[in-house]
Amino acid sequence: MSAFLNAAVATATAVDPACAEPLPVLGRDVTVPLVTGGEVTYAALDYAASAPALQRVWDDVAAYAPYYGSVHRGAGYLSQLSTDLFEQSRATVAEFLDCRATDQVIFTRSTTDSLNLLAAVLPADCQVFVFETEHHASLLPWTNAQVTYLNAPRTPDEAVATLERALADREPLGSPLLERSRELGEGPALVCVTGASNVTGELWPVKELAAAAHAHGARIVLDAAQLAPHHPVSVQDLDVDWVAFSGHKLYAPFGSGVLAGRADWLQQAEPYLAGGGASRKVARRGDGGVDVEWHTTAARHEAGSPNVIGVYSIASACRALTEAGFDSLVARERHLIAKVREGLAEVPAVRVLSLFGDDAPRVGVISFVVDGWNSSHFAAALSAEYGIGVRDGLFCAHPLVRTLLGSEPRTQGECGAPEAAPGERSLNAIRVSFGAGTPDEHVDRFVRAVKELVADGAKWQYRTEEGRCVPAV
């Protein structure tokens, strides 16, 4: 097992989960109606899509909101205060990620936006290596580069070996920059890898993949969207060149994200967006055009009025998770993971999806299918009859889910079945995900509901409406 995965296991077993309480989150007392009558406290088990906001984050934002002002654009007190808050948030995120002193922290809209930003600043002739197992946010942005898609590995060691072979086989493109950068142990080749799968929850051997990338003169970007909310992420310890994540998965709403890492490619490229804030000086030329001097700081790629509330919410979440202690958070999450996995293992009709096997370290993200059920139908029944919110579908990771499901024939119900291409079987799965704000009762109810639905069937009739399975009225 890799050093990174060993460290994850050691951290997760260092604290008694019985001593840890879930962190307070918004919505923990919300009740929802059941089609069978009555109401129940909503069990939010779709953290991998958007985690509920921490109460601490909401309170911090509410305290700041009356002082909201323009960032980097005003002499007034509120503008100055907001600017200080914005830049202090940048420092908080850098500390949370254990960035190098020379790294830049750029605020974006999301992980997707962060990786598209990085794709936009790649040097000419850059080659990109990405596993087919990635979320679409890290699979699709590299349209202007030469991309090598790597097959899904079945063990962490196979992932490292697959990458090493691909990097060793890459052909020089005749670029002097490429040859020089190979000698320096730098790009222009880039590896993009997830830290934790948004489908299986499994941890990837990031440190070993980074070592393989650097040994072959490539750089590496870590998609930490599913890792950062569950485990500490150290840019220096993992030795990654960049890391990207989203606030809405880190218990911080308002639509902000982060790209943090090496400054050189960011400074050398044209701004991701052209506009105010990114420009340091603009002057008319004699021929009627304009000359622009762009910032070389993070502002170069932060044109427009910054989302200071979104940025502050990320910083607040970083502080809250750090203060809560990842040892405690990880141990408690492993306790919840064990409950879910042990409960699902008692239902023969359930198959949990996995790349690396049952013993692989993972975060609180578990996907599965149920024999005889379309996953949309099953998810609809969990919601309507038990007040449990999960996700069904292909989870914006279509190649991975199709790889995991495509070889096994199953009988499926029709309600809510997504449309399939001619001659192609309809595929979808169910994903349950949880984290720092999840109480034991939510996962206990989920396991009980799965067992009851498999044993007794749904209590209600369902129909397909605009591609979704919904209760029949």
Catalytic residues: 396
Angstrom distance (rounded) from CA 460 to CA 473: 10
Round to whole Å and give the CA distance between 315 and 356.
33
Residue 303 and residue 274 in contact, taking contact as beta carbons nearer than 8 Å: yes
User: 156-169 and 206-215 are packed helices; what angle lies between their axes, rounded to 10 degrees?
Assistant: 20
CA distance 63 to 307: 16
403-409: long-range contacts, CB 8 A cutoff, minimum separation 24: 403/132, 403/133, 403/152, 404/199, 404/200, 404/353, 404/354, 404/355, 404/367, 404/429, 405/353, 405/369, 405/429, 408/351
127-131 and 104-108 strand pairing: unpaired
Q: Is 463 helix (H, G, I), strand (E, B) or coil?
A: strand
CB 361, CB 375: distance < 8 Å: no
Cβ contacts of 396 within 8 Å, gap of 6 or more? 135, 136, 137, 198
Element (H, E) at 243: strand 242-246
Q: Amino acid letter at 57?
A: V
Q: Which residues contact 167 (CB under 8 A, 6 or more apart)?
A: 129, 189, 191, 212, 213, 215, 216, 217, 218
Alpha-carbon distances, residue 416 vs 252, 411, 420, 433 (angstroms): 31, 14, 12, 21
Q: What percentage of the chain's residues is helix, strand, coil (to nearest 5)? A: 40, 20, 40
- Give the integer Cα–Cα distance in Å for 261 and 223: 12
Residue 273 per-residue DSSP state: S
CA nearest neighbour of 308 among 137, 117, 73: 73
Q: What is the CB neighbour count within 10 angstroms for residue 16?
A: 11
